[in-house]
Structure 1
Amino acid sequence: MSTETAAAVAQVAAPQPAAWEEARSRVYAVGLAAALPAVDRPLADADGHTLAEPLATRTHLPAFPTSSVDGWAVRGDGPWQVVGRVLAGQTPPPLSTDGTTVEIATGAMVPEGTAAILRIEESTRTADGRVDGTPRPSLEWREPGEEASAGEELLPAGTPVDPALIGLAASCGHDTLRVRRQPRAAVLVFGDELLTSGPPGAGRVRDALGPAVPAWLRRYGCQVRPGDVIGPVADTLPAHVAALRGALATADLVCTTGGTMHGPVDHLHPTLEALGADYVVNTVAVRPGFPMLLARLVDDEGRVRFVAGLPGNPQSAVVALVSLVAPLLAGLQGRPMPVLPQVTLAESIPGRGDYTHLALVRWDRVAGTAHPLRHVGSAMLRGLAGADGFAVIRPGASGEVGDQVSVVPLPLLPGERAW
């Protein structure tokens, strides 16, 4: 083997890992450049999507003067003669004569000519049936445009759609929302040693990622259907190529589990080469999980798809999800780059030399403190099951009690704003 060939092999086998923060920025940028197309969705079907254009109101909010209380809309001085009643949903005639009033319900349109609204509980009736009392000096109705003016931008593009936003959009007069199409993801499970049911034993381990990764992906806004989880895929190069090619036919993102190194049955890298993929990130200087990767493929029609190579150890795979997949999906959905919150360490956390250390923690949001957990080996899931996220310990440092550090939160519910 020539010196040049040996050097090339060594470079393939041991790529220079990207710094963790640089890797996050890089995958977000390529995701944003490939942001998914905008589609119109009815309000009832928009939850969990992302606004593709700003949300603006079609009218003033409120659109007309609206009573804040049940009472009497009065004109002139009292006692007032009752000339009618106005309920929510009605358009009342003007109050044109001093000394008159109409009964008014909360949410009803205030008649033109109204000087004040007298609360029902603060009113009395005279012997001849007139209404008497002293209105409060402050207005008891909402003026048009008090909440927003017609055409005003209320929320920017890139805002995740949740029930509160849906309600706001309805109040603004919208029937549909212009949103980004949700990414569709697939999961390929690699490893002949994996069991898909029953307890582990006799040299074989239970697959923990096949059931778990789709649930994480859904929490980051992906669609993952039952048929999109494939495996275990046989430990041969042809089987890997066929499985990945098939998954990429319909998925925007394919997550693979295991096979990210260069062992005798690690076929992911040759598979990516066979399919013409380009690496966005090939290993990251982070512990656990450094052999993670993200690759990009562009077909003849210009359609961009991504492959996220997750390490086979379960906690390492989740580190890859929060490090590479979450920012990629934020970009694909047109959301802003996730900003990591800051916490105070309640206990010390060791560093990992030149690598960023993502340490599992329980996050006390009231106190703003993070507490490291036990059972945090890369192959363990016990600590992860009780964690709220990962504390970020920078390269060349350790986390001391009282230090302010970033934390990568884990999403807890489908559609929750995790970052």
Structure 2
Amino acid sequence: MKQNLTVEAALELVLQKAKPLQSIEELPLVAAYGGILGANLSSKVNHPYADDTAVDGYACLEVDAQGATVGNPVRLRVIGQSPAGKPFAGTVGSGEAVQVFTGAPIPKGANAVIRVEDTLREGDYVWLMKPATAADIRRRGDDLVLGQTYLYRGDLLTPGRVGLAAAMGYATLPVIRRPRVGILSTGDEVVEPGEPLPYGGVYNSNSYSVAGLVLEAGGEPVILPKVSDSVEGIRTQLQRAGKLDLLITTGGVSMGEYDIVRQMLELEGEIHFWKVRLQPGGPLLFATWNGLPLMGLPGNPVSAMVTFLLFGRPFLFKLLGRTDPPYQQIRAVADTAFEANPTRRAYRRAVLRWENDRYHVATTGNQSSAVLNSMAVGNALVVLEVGRPARAGEWVEVIPFPGAGL
């Protein structure tokens, strides 16, 4: 068992055990939102399918409208209309125009369009106050070309990408099955929210904060009933969990006699590493139990969330084969000082904002790993290398929280 790894070394071992999922399900467009695309998609159509107009106005021959001005307008005879979905069937000849509406195909014979606001209608004729041009004609295939690939396996299906898939002609999408992630809290002191809280007890926040992180990362959280501090209890829950792609436990991975997750794995599993040189979250454990990857997060609420962000989220991204990175890292100006750790890389909770053309970041205050409120008011982590604090005014490395909207 490896111990006291760097963040990079621990992450490498975690990703080695993440085998991309191959199971694909075909979902209707609405159900596919937020999923991960399971295959490359090429367009089934050209879009526009024909040259069309980007504006309401009149289509005509460009040569007929040359030199038109307000003081010297050009008069053309209107021979029909071309609304979107009802193309004009005839041909535009010299001295003629067809009224067109946005999205309508350009009638045969016409090669220019003038906007309606630059015309004056008079019965069966229209006066052009400016020259008609091809500037407002959208060419066939300008957006999508038949047979060209626009979406790729591993793409997150955002509203824009689902809309693009619909425009390409797809009614359903191949979506990679969401990985099922079991979440198990340990500890006799853990009590479910809503129940009376006994002396020495603590409400089970870890299961629900981690479940939210799993869901946001593209997984399907499966919250398992809590177990007491006994190896038999945790073994029973693991056996009842069903088919999982990852098991996350919170608590029970440190050095005490009641840290039964680590004790059970020492007897029945394979521990790949225990303890990482970071703060918070040092006692992170990663193992395999009966072929199931198991990530033992620390019991402190902040430690559990930070270690999931740094290790659990990348694990799920690799399972899903996602094309986007699990998190980004940016630079910001520190508005407050941040204290380093003398022996471990520190991740300090902070509030990140954009102001005066740059990012600024300030501490949330108390950095104890038990202060869960800091994860509610904060939206980023400031990354401090070993023994290197940051003073106010210095540039620092920052990891924004997923979904922070920055």
Fold equivalence (TM over 0.5): yes
What is residue 3 of structure 1 aligned with on the other side?
none
Cα displacement (A) at 1:26 = 3.5
Cα displacement (A) at 1:230 = 2.3
Cα displacement (A) at 1:114 = 0.9
Could you tell which deviates more after superposition, 397-406 or 250-259? 397-406
Residue identity in the other structure for 1:106 = T
Which of 384, 387, 399 matches 1:396? 387
Which of 151, 170, 180 matches 2:166? 170
Residue identity in the other structure for 1:28 = L
Cα displacement (A) at 1:234 = 1.8
Deviation sequence 1:120-147 (CA, Å, 0-9, x none): 2221234x63222133435222111222
What is residue 120 of structure 1 aligned with on the other side?
116
Q: Which runs of 5+ in 2 are unaligned?
A: 65-73
Q: Verify: 1:347 aligned to 2:336, yes or no.
A: yes
Task: Give me the TM-score of the superposition, normalised by structure 2.
Answer: 0.88
Task: Calculate the aligned-residue CA RMSD, in Å.
Answer: 2.4
Cα displacement (A) at 1:274 = 5.0
Aligned-residue identity in percent:
27
Q: Measure the CA separation in 1 of the matches of 2:76 and 2:51.
A: 21
Q: Measure the CA separation in 2 of the matches of 1:156 and 1:342.
A: 30
Task: Give me the TM-score of the superposition, normalised by structure 1.
Answer: 0.85
Deviation sequence 1:296-318 (CA, Å, 0-9, x none): 3565xxxxx42221111111111
Deviation sequence 1:331-381 (CA, Å, 0-9, x none): 111124434223232222121122110100101134312111212211121
| Contact 2:209–2:305 (Cα < 8 Å) also in 1 | no
Which structure 1 residue ranges, 4+ long, deviate > 6 Å from structure 2?
A: none
- Matches for 1:241-280 after TM superposition, within 5 Å: 241-247=235-241, 249-273=242-266, 275-276=268-269, 278-280=270-272
- Matches for 1:173-322 after TM superposition, within 5 Å: 173-196=169-192, 197-198=194-195, 200-224=197-221, 228-247=222-241, 249-273=242-266, 275-276=268-269, 278-297=270-289, 299=291, 305-322=292-309
Q: Measure the CA separation in 2 of the matches of 1:409 and 1:199.
A: 36
Q: Verify: 1:108 aligned to 2:104, yes or no.
A: yes
Could you tell which deviates more after superposition, 164-173 or 355-364? 164-173
Cα displacement (A) at 1:199 = 6.2
Q: Measure the CA separation in 1 of the matches of 2:119 and 2:273.
A: 72
Deviation sequence 1:228-268 (CA, Å, 0-9, x none): 32232021111111111222x22212211110123222111
Q: Verify: 1:131 aligned to 2:126, yes or no.
A: yes
Cα displacement (A) at 1:176 = 2.2
Which of 364, 369, 389 matches 2:360? 369
- Judged with a 3 Å threshold, the aligned counterparts in structure 2 of structure 1 residues 40 and 279 are, in CA distance, closer, same or farther, namely farther
Q: Measure the CA separation in 1 of the matches of 2:347 and 2:376.
A: 15
| Contact 2:80–2:88 (Cα < 8 Å) also in 1 | no
**Equivalences, count:** 390
Could you tell which deviates more after superposition, 310-319 or 341-350? 341-350
Residue identity in the other structure for 1:46 = A
Q: Measure the CA separation in 1 of the matches of 2:93 and 2:75.
A: 13
Cα displacement (A) at 1:46 = 0.9
| SS of equivalent residue, structure 1 residue 365 | strand
What is residue 42 of structure 2 aligned with on the other side?
56
Q: Measure the CA separation in 2 of the matches of 1:328 and 1:403.
A: 32
Q: Which runs of 5+ in 1 are unaligned?
A: 1-11, 300-304
